[in-house]
């Protein structure tokens, strides 16, 4: 495993932990898009079905189980335990506009027309746009809590590091997955505006706000 994948995984894990701690310590899920979290739960579920069919390494298995468990724990906190604090009025992005096209695309463009491969491809495509309901919610409310921006930054950093991981693997292992790379680039581009605001505002102690 190269350093970019390891740090990418750690950044991804940090994002998930930051979000869970934010919700648990504040006893509130205000400002968090439940729809984005449901999409991420779907992403991990459809991507890691190979847990039932193959074993790669202890690290690989543990990380997959942690991602799935934390994703559903987050959804539970938002829609069950702290439901009273959930801002459903502002979390109004139409997720069917993401899920339906992504589902169709995964059937049409994949590496192998088999159930597990189609579901894996679906998860890759869906992850690239799963953050849109969260970004839409922030733009609608006009601002975001600092801890929420830290979560988004770590999530975007994870994807950016994975781009370097793929470059590393291409040059040193001869590995190249066009589907994963294109989806990763799309996902990173979606974070670019946020990265700029994070560096110019949040890191300087200012409150992040996005145009509605």
Instruction: Please tell me the predicted confidence (pLDDT) of residue 101.
Output: 96
pLDDT tens per residue, range 71-95: 999 999 999 999 999 999 999 999 9
Contacts of 114 (CB under 8 A, 6+ apart): none
Question: How far is residue 202's CA from residue 21's CA, in Å, rounded to a whole number?
Answer: 19
Q: Which of 40-49, 65-74, 164-173 has the lowest mean pLDDT?
A: 164-173
> How many residues in the chain?
212
Question: How far is residue 50's CA from residue 48's CA, in Å, rounded to a whole number?
Answer: 5
Q: Which of 89-93, 108-112, 140-144 has the lowest mean pLDDT?
A: 140-144
Question: How far is residue 85's CA from residue 25's CA, in Å, rounded to a whole number?
Answer: 13
Average of per-residue pLDDT across 145-154: 82
Contacts of 61 (CB under 8 A, 6+ apart): 51, 55
> Which residue from 19, 11, 8 is spatially nearest to 41, judged by alpha carbons?
19
Question: How far is residue 93's CA from residue 76's CA, in Å, rounded to a whole number?
Answer: 20
Instruction: Please tell me the predicted confidence (pLDDT) of residue 98.
Output: 95
Q: Which of 67-81, 108-122, 177-191 has the lowest mean pLDDT?
A: 177-191
Instruction: Please tell me the predicted confidence (pLDDT) of residue 86.
Output: 95
Give 3-state DSSP helix, strand, coil % of the chain, rounded to 5: 75, 0, 25
Task: Indicate the burial class of 137 (C-beta count within 10 angstroms; 0-12, 13-18, 19 or more).
Answer: buried
Name the residue with higher pLDDT: 195 or 93. 93
Secondary structure letter of residue 48 according to DSSP:
G
Phi and psi of 82, rounded to 5°? -115, 35
Instruction: Please tell me the predicted confidence (pLDDT) of residue 209.
Output: 55
Question: How far is residue 210's CA from residue 212's CA, in Å, rounded to a whole number?
Answer: 6
Specify the 3-state DSSP secondary structure of 191. helix
């Amino acid at each position: 495993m190269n350093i970019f994948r390891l740090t990418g995984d750690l950044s991804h894990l940090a994002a998930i932990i930051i979000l869970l701690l934010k919700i648990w310590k504040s006893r509130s899920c205000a400002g968090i898009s439940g729809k984005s979290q449901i999409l991420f739960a779907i992403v991990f579920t459809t991507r890691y079905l190979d847990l039932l069919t193959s074993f790669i390494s202890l690290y690989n298995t543990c990380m997959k189980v942690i991602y799935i468990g934390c994703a559903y724990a987050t959804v539970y906190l938002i829609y069950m335990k702290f439901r009273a604090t959930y801002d459903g009025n502002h979390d109004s992005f139409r997720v069917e506009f993401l899920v339906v096209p992504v589902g169709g695309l995964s059937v049409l463009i994949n590496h192998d027309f088999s159930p597990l491969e189609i579901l894996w491809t679906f998860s890759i495509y869906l992850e690239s746009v799963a953050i849109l309901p969260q970004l839409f919610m922030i733009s609608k409310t006009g601002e975001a809590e600092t801890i929420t921006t830290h979560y988004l930054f770590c999530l975007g950093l994870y994807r950016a590091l994975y781009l370097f991981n793929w470059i590393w693997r291409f040059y040193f292992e001869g590995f190249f997955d066009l589907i994963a790379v294109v989806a990763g680039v799309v996902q990173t581009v979606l974070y670019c505006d946020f990265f700029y605001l994070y560096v110019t505002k949040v890191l300087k102690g200012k409150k992040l706000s996005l145009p509605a």
